[in-house]
Amino acid sequence: MAHKQHPLHSGFPPSATADDVLEGINLSGKNAIVTGGASGIGFEVTRALAKAGACVLVGTRDPERAYLALAGLPRVTVDKLDLIDPVSIDSFAGRWLATTEPLHILVNNAGASGGPQRDARGFDTQFATNHLGHFQLTGALLPALVATSQARVVNVSSGAHRFGRIRWEDPNFTADFNSLAAYTQSKTANVLFAVGLDQRWGDGIRGYAVHPGVVVGTKLNSAAGDDALRRMGLIDDAGQPIIDPTAGKKTPAQGASTIVFAATSPLLRDIGGVYLTDNDIAPLNDDMQPLSSGTIPTDAASHSINPDDAQRLWALSEWLLRGG
């Protein structure tokens, strides 16, 4: 299978921060939406884009808490968005479209992990939040993205995609729920969605999937508990984060860097539908090395960038959102 997973040698090391990546880039006059942009990596993405001049709208389930977290940041606003509620998604998108403002950057960042939990439709909340909600949101915002002729959609995925497969006949794990398998499926879906989006809309809208690194202190990672984080080599005996960017263990500012790289880098002007890590396009590597405290596999896996599967997932997602 021909692929585009060839590193560009961007010059940014794994330790680069979002501010490092955006140095010299002027986003004045650009509009961005960041889901889950009031905490963790999302906050750093919001802060860095706004610092570079962009107007940023943060979609969040808890606007009041987000207002407090984002207070003082210039050009940042907040609106209600619940990614497991189709009505909330359409309402959020409708309010944006009513402004007639173009949308230059959409960062599909919000995520869920753990379970078993199901939304009102019976969908696994990890698949519904991480993929289906963002799939619906992106489609609903399509007129605003098209209006820019050079928009970028960034899906925040994970190196966990390497261990995930789409359960085509049972994506919601109704038969035998497995929390980890459901999570890795959703991260594979993030990558396939970026590939499919770029196939369909790549003339004017580029799609990217990003592994930000493992960032201790985010809601997703903290939910694992201290014992699990110690086993993974992510915190020390005192409970403090172990920061080692070359091993994929990053601060929130470092984790946000590849996201803003995907959203803004001129090096990506003519390429999309790729999976990125460490501020560059990730190489393709199907050697399924295990997770360990010293190694966090982050390269792209063939199954996550397969163009036929990307289109199959697109059709499945539309079917599910129609009530299938």
Residue pLDDT, tens place only, 134-143: 999 999 999 9
Q: Where is pLDDT greater, at 235 or 19?
A: 19
Q: How many domains does the chain have?
A: 1
Residue pLDDT, tens place only, 248-291: 999 999 999 999 999 999 999 999 999 999 999 999 999 876 65
Instruction: Tell me if 6 is assigned to some domain.
Output: no
Buried b (16+ CB within 10 A) or exposed e, 100-115: eebbbbbbbbbbbbeb
Looking at the annotation, which residues are catalytic? 183
Instruction: Tell me if 5 is assigned to some domain.
Output: no
Q: Band the pLDDT of 146: cuts 50, 70, 90.
A: very high
Q: How far is 195 from 5, CA to CA, in rounded Å?
A: 11
Instruction: Tell me if 312 is assigned to some domain.
Output: yes
For residue 281, what is the enclosing H or E element?
A: strand 280-281
What would the two tokens of residue 152 be? 């970028």
Predicted pLDDT of residue 228: 62
Contact 174, 166 (CB under 8 A): no
The CATH number of the domain where 115 resides is what?
A: 3.40.50.720
Question: Where does residue 225 rank: exposed (0-12), middle (13-18), buried (19+ CB within 10 A)?
Answer: exposed
Residue pLDDT, tens place only, 104-122: 999 999 999 888 799 999 9
Instruction: Tell me if 3 is assigned to some domain.
Output: no
What would the two tokens of residue 129 be? 């939040």
Q: What integer is the mean pLDDT of 7-33?
A: 98
Residue 187, phi then psi, degrees to nearest 5: -75, -35
Predicted pLDDT of residue 231: 65
Contact 310, 207 (CB under 8 A): no
Structural domain that includes position 210 = 18-321
Q: Is the pLDDT of residue 293 over 60?
A: no
Which region among 120-129, 148-157, 223-232 has the lowest average model confidence (pLDDT)? 223-232
Q: Band the pLDDT of 1: cuts 50, 70, 90.
A: low
∠160-163-168 over CA atoms, to 5°?
110
Predicted pLDDT of residue 288: 73
Q: Band the pLDDT of 241: cuts 50, 70, 90.
A: confident
- % of the chain with per-residue pLDDT over 70: 92
Instruction: Tell me if 8 is assigned to some domain.
Output: no
Residue pLDDT, tens place only, 26-79: 999 999 999 999 999 999 999 999 999 999 999 999 999 999 999 999 999 999
Q: How far is 41 from 251, CA to CA, in rounded Å?
A: 9
Instruction: Tell me if 2 is assigned to some domain.
Output: no
Q: Is the pLDDT of residue 200 over 80?
A: yes
Instruction: Tell me if 160 is assigned to some domain.
Output: yes
Please, what's the largest Cα pairwise distance for the chain? 52
Instruction: Tell me if 9 is assigned to some domain.
Output: no
